[in-house]
Structure 1
Amino acid sequence: MDLNDNIESPLNLQVSFNKLLEQYETLTKSGDEFIVANANRILKSVDSYPELRTGFSDMSVLKKREKEINLILHDTFNPLLTQNEIKTASVPLHNLNFNSSERFKNIIKNAGEDFELEIKNMPNDDMYIIACTIILNFCYGYVINFKRPFYYQIPDKDGVMRYYKILYNADFCEIIPTENAVKLAQEDYDELLDNFNNIDLWKEKFPPNSYVFKGFVISNIFDVTEDQSISNIKSSLIGEDRRKDKSFVEKFHEIFRSLFGLKDIKVGFSIYNKAENTFELVYGAGMNSFLLNGNESASCSESLCGKSYERLIEENKYFAISDIDKKIEKLKQYPKVQAPQVKALYEQGVKSVIFAPIANEDGLLGIIEIVSDKPKVLNSVNANKLIDVMPYIVSAVERSKNEEENLIEAIIQKECTSIHPSVRWRFQKEAKNFIHAEFSGEQAVFKKIAFDDVYPLYGQIDIKGSSEARNEATKQDLTLQLHAVKSIFTSASRIEALPIYDQYIYQINDYLDGINNHFQVDSEQQISEFFKQEIAPVFKHLYTLDALKQEINTYFENIDDKVNVLYSHRKDYDETVALINKEMASLLDKKQVEAQAMYPHYFERFKTDGVEHNMYIGEAITKEDSFNPIYLFNLRLWQLQVMCEMENSFYQMQSKFPISLDVASMILVFNQPLSISFRMDEKQFDVDGTYNARYEIVKKRVDKAYIKGSKERVTQKGKISIVYSQKQDEIEYLRYIKFLQSKHYLDADIEIVELQDLQSVTGLKAIRVSVLYHKSEEDKSFYTYDDLMKEIKA
């Protein structure tokens, strides 16, 4: 296998030890007999193998001449240090390594058989150009400051990714032009400075294989995992608070001066406002934007030429101008060419500039502007030095942006939602521990919020047949709209005898038949798409016919502007559900204030097709040594009583709703304490453990459960269903029911039923009892559900 296989490069790579052997030839003239003898021994070992001097690209030679190569490199790779040094011989811009130290071999071995060593931050797309910059330095003396630290990412035996920095010793290399090499002049060099990404230009100046690399490099490798891990500290450099300090801006300039090795450079910054496509000034002591040139904001299209706009905003890539004066002179030759950024920089005395986009996966956040009052010192080549620092700048800008968003979120949290007061103390405690750990230099982790041995209570007041009611409303709306469309097409066919109108009528009849006979889950979407994609465009044409304008106007008057369909019966349904949820939730919240005063407990409620609520009570939540089972029993009785009051409140308000719907109430009893923890991703509490998960399964499925041996649902309108599994629960709730019967909350028709088995849950039973109602708050009479319906309809 040849070193140069499948590689396009201006360098033809050849491993050679000529430069090192020349050093040994010098040592033969030393006055030290031992050094002379060692040098002669090494030189003699290669006399029979001239390829070790002249160079070779056949990698099999490394194996054939391994003994001789080891001898040549014996002094360079000291065997006494081989277990400690991470070191290898290699060639530049290639993953070939040979004569490695034992420690390096062990690192590769621990990485696993499938691991392939490669320089992670060596951009493959730029390899050719990087080779060209090496030639410029070796052969022409043009020193382009393009040195970037290179790293290996290698997992250790435990699979932990470690980072190794590579330092090259290139003392034993030489680069020799071939007859195909192009002789370069100053003008060529100047042109290349502004065209780092123009690969065709670089290939023109440095044709493939036009130079020969002979030699090898010594890679000295250092484990810098800890340095890499703490490097995010750099992101604090442009924190919001620091921008208030004028001295910080000067320090920021110094960072970039060190990075580029240039004394006379300054840094500006502008924010990108995506919504308005403008650049905006960053407010802060000493902050400046060379792009805005004294303005607080400016349109992006008016601040940049077309090429720079494309590079920075659309591609999020660097844009450099190495000689502003030269660019100005060129623009004078083409007065119609607009380059506003060049003129703005020229006015400020800038001679060279790099614009670097601060961007993440969501797009552009802002622009870093690095400027100098000297030409050519900033260019498209050394702009690549920013690659290793931009992540920190992006991180800082993101953090600054997130801080603003967090402030907004905090206001929303305060005004719109909150952690329940009963558990707030625990969140505050963990937050304080988190802050303390950060200030103490420890690893700050927000610990899991969990409460053990708490008793759950669950209840719901659910709209009966909500899916059927919505489907019926949908069918009515679609039927009305289809008939309206059919009427228009019927009128149109009388004016224009086009077969396509008959086809639409046929399709509408087909949809009407489907609605009446086999309404599917996706029928609503299909018909809505039919209105949007097919009917709307045709109606635009039909509207040109004067005879149809009035009918089409009437049609669109009945179409809802927000959803673009006829939304009448569905609107009544949605408004009814919203009103039910609002009223029931409001009543429950009001009653909760009383319950919390009796004994603190966790409470949460959710609006679905009805209102459901969770409660947890126990010692862990109250923080104090005060819990007694009597508080649990009291809360259970309170829950049952409130459910009766919510049933009454619903039917007293039913006449105010756009459509008539019924509700059914259910309570789930779980007599064993369980553990709950706060799920950060969903911002709510959930049960812990496999056994406790049984409670969640029952909670989600039980309202749809059937009575054993029948097709009757356990929940029924006019009744409260209390689901349980233990005999002691049955005894306890029969006692509560008897008490509420004496208060005329419940009727005397108690029934106990068994439920069909749910997934992984068996043995459930339910107590069902009818609620007693009042027609109004002033009414003192008691009615069953059937009696109430007769009274309401009378």
Structure 2
Amino acid sequence: MELLKIRVPQPVVEALQFRLSFKPFVDYLQKQKQRVPRQAGITSLYDHLIAKFTPFLSLLQPVEEVLITPPLEELLQLIKFSVLPLTDQEDEVPYAIGLPGHLITLFHYSEAFGQLMGQPEDFLPEAALPVIRQDALRSFYQLVLEKCYGVSTGTDFCPFFTFQTNAGNLTRYYRMRIDFRFLEPHLEKQLPPLQPAWLAFAKESRGVPPSGVPPSGTPPGGIVAELPVGLPLEQFTFHGVCLFFIEDITEETALRDLREVFVHLQTEPEGGIYQRFEKGLRDLCGQSDLEIGVTPFLQVNGNYVHHSTYTSRSIFLKYSGLHIDALSKSEVQQMITGLVSDPRPRVSPDLTGASEPAQQLLYGKGFRSLILYPIVVSNQALGMLEIGSVHPAALNGEVLQKVEQAIPMVTELLLYQINQFKARMEGIVHQKFTSLQPSVAWRFTEAAWVYLRQGGEKVSEDESTRVFFPGVYPFYGAIDVRNSSVERNRAIQRDLTRQLRWVGEILQTPGPPDKEEMTQELLTRNQYWESRLDRLWTPEDEVQVTAFLADEVHPCFQGLSEQPAVATRLQPYFNHTDATTGLFYQAYRAYQESLKQINDTVNDYLEQAEKQLRTLYPHYFEKFRTDGLEYNLYIGESIAPWLPFRPDHLRQLRGWQLASIVAMARLTHQLRSALPLPLQTTQLILAHSRPVDIQFRLDERRFDVEGAYSIRYEIIKKRIDKACVKGTQARLTQPDTLALAYTTSQEVNDYLPFINTLQERGELLPSIEFLELEPLQGVSGLKALRLNINYRPLPD
């Protein structure tokens, strides 16, 4: 075997000296022999190896003078057989034996290693060289410290570096690791005193400079650091041999690159993102000519639609010329429902003789193997991943296992595309169709006239086009469903528990003997989930149980459907999986229906109450539906400069706010007895006596506050619902009460006359709690009073 020499640019230390020696390896064998039990077979093996190397213990040959002779080749073969497992002795394992340096010199190597190293001298990326050099230097520090100073760094001194090969459009990634175990440093002079800086550098993580801070001008792909000085490596001579191993890391690198691609979804053009995604998936699968399609399922008012921007990458749609919106609504619905009920990936290694029309069409276009992977999350079909190849058997179960590792990234891409589509739709609706409230429409008309008069779209924004209302008084109120997330999770827990019990009963029904092992395994896992849901519930459990039912239980039930004893139970079971009528969604439907009834009741009342308020004074009003309802109201003379604004308008508005929120609380309480799930509500008002400035945000197409003091009000408003009573962990907002938060005594005094009126009318109980609140993030000094609502019928 000829010597193989690999030039490494930028050596760690110039003139670093290496000598071929077998003594370190023999010392290793002696130590291993002492550690193993005294069994004749094992000790005889070590004795045999030691005897083979003993005549050559005096060999100490400079690396550049080594010639491969038959005796030397035999010794190198013995090292290979001693170190490598028997399963790794074949030539396809990339290994080598040699010594490092400015030229890595390899005395013995496998055929696979030689093929991979038959690369140009620049096979190492230029940007990675500083880090590679630094890590190699650190390994020499570790070796010298342990072997010469007896100081262990707690790490193995095995430097490694990565490199890649390119064949056409396919990139493969490798990691070469150098094993220094059989390398001994020697110094003819006296050892210099140990320096703490040497030990600190040797213990640092790979790729991290001693300072811990990368200097400016760091090239991409590596961290440059000033290398420590003081340890005179050039004065040492390193005796022994090193082992070199190459590991294929294409799969983990491709997955890392895929994850990196999706980090930039929001900042890079989608076309570039998609090209990098295709490249990463081809590298992961190890096939450069795969055709890849990712198609989101887009909806408009519940109907699936086609838009070329999003569906042009579909393999099937591209080659068939068919559009989703060309199909009938029932055909599309049937197709999507089928994917949700059975979202397993479809692997077709050979399309020859395919029976399905879609596969026949693709066969006619030259495809010979295919993977279709529906992406379904929480019973929602997000889209489809399609992978096609012109080669038979190119796509199979082994490739599918690799593809499945990338499915979380595909899901993220589909969600991004769907959300992007929704955002574009909402933008068009807001731009073209959203009507303005009459109270502020005049100001938008003025701004529009300025745009038109001065040149339309070419006009830059200035004071004349800015929609701004200074000095308006804010009013904020909220009715929220108490513990809505907890109630939702409880409902899902009850539904899943019921479904698991059905599954357990069906699995215990006697079935065919050949299915008994599978059904018993599923029954055991089903019992585990039943037990877990009885004891503990987390949001992750919902995902895992749903996946267990869809991916394992339902396919098993499909296979048992031909057994009469089981079939009679399966049809009712699958009927109950219908989200709109099924038993397994009963508790969740009760939660949703109860939430809807509360929101509808509150929303209807508030809309009517706000209409009556319009006769008081023009104002801007907006409401938001969450798990409840909250609203903002702004009033002031800048909104209607042609009408005088008086303090009495504020007084009347405070009375309206207090009376309306108490009325809504009483309505939701009356509703409880008729609700499928008797949810409770909490009520909150934020009192604020000072005016704020609001401006219309063109980018978000909504009003927002302006100025430091106004922004403080906005911060309080966003965080007040999480406020706790001072000295406790109890929330300010509680069922059957109305909380009124404020900062100054004047703010609460403005409401006290109206509180007294509602108490006298019997809508509020006499008791009042005056409370201090725990500081919120960025806000302190808040106070509140809490009023108890009287739900008894009022006297005529």
TM-score, L = length of structure 1: 0.45
Structure 1 or 2, whichever has the larger Rg, is: 1
Structure 2 length as normaliser, TM-score? 0.45
